Structure 1
């Protein structure tokens, strides 16, 4: 199979998996229009395996679609920007530093971006809730991605 076709097919599958991980495995936070989900690991996997542009597209578009489909449309443009940039950061840095440092850098951007957005949308009371939820979300996603990255990359990309 042509390498470009294979890449596009895998990116489509990962985007679908991201939407499922975000909408099905979602845990709403009471009193705020916020939720914790398991999509972060997919963003990190894509970024680590396919690089920054793929991480940006899958992370931003896939997560933004998940917000729309999951009933959180107000977050979709915010998510497109934050998750897209997060995926781009991880993918670009993964070529220069250890994967866990790339993931930590993207995670830091995501946490700060969503804390800022939550504060602007819902007031300062939402910021600690957002920070705590996002810290757990990026930690779980990072662990999943770092554990699976080498194994999946070997089979999917052949490295």
Structure 2
């Protein structure tokens, strides 16, 4: 099996995992049209293994799809943009410096983007709730992704130069 086919198969697997982690492993936030989920772990893991462009595609498309499936269609275009850029930032900076820098910068962009979106959609009162939930979400996602990355980085599909 060629490396391109193998990588495409892993990308499909990661896309499915992201939708599952966002759709099934989520918890609603009371009083606002928001929810906490574990999708960040998959975005960061893809960013750490494959880099910015695959993480942008999987993060943006997979997360927006999960929003639609979960019944939050107003968030889908917002999520597509924020999660796509988050994945790109995390993957690009992880490749250039180290995994922690990439994850922290991606998380900062995600939290800022969703805080602005929550403010515009629901008013300033939604911002502290959004930030608190996002902080927990990116922190849990980072811990899971960094833990898994250390264990997976020796596998052959981590050859980023051919993707």
Q: Which has the larger displacement, 61-70 or 143-152?
A: 143-152
Aligned-pair CA distance for 1:156: 4.8
Aligned-pair CA distance for 1:152: 1.6
Matches within 5 A, 1:84-103: 84-103=84-103
Per the alignment, residue 123 of structure 1 pairs with 123
Q: Equivalents in 1 of 2:133, 2:158: separation in Å? A: 35
TM-score, normalised with respect to structure 1: 0.97
Per the alignment, residue 144 of structure 1 pairs with 144
Q: Equivalents in 2 of 1:76, 1:43: separation in Å? A: 16
List gaps (5 residues or longer) in structure 1: none
Per the alignment, residue 41 of structure 1 pairs with 41
Per the alignment, residue 74 of structure 1 pairs with 74
Per the alignment, residue 26 of structure 1 pairs with 26
Q: Equivalents in 1 of 2:72, 2:156: separation in Å? A: 32
Name the count of aligned residue pairs.
159
Q: Equivalents in 2 of 1:92, 1:158: separation in Å? A: 15
SS at match of 2:96: coil
Per the alignment, residue 17 of structure 1 pairs with 17
Q: Which has the larger displacement, 92-101 or 70-79?
A: 92-101
Q: Which has the larger displacement, 87-96 or 107-116?
A: 87-96
Q: Equivalents in 2 of 1:45, 1:156: separation in Å? A: 15
Matched, 1:60 2:60: yes
List gaps (5 residues or longer) in structure 2: none
Cα gap change, 1:115 to 1:77, in 2 (>3 Å): same
SS at match of 1:27: strand
Q: Equivalents in 2 of 1:72, 1:157: separation in Å? A: 34
> For the aligned residues, what is the CA RMSD?
1.0
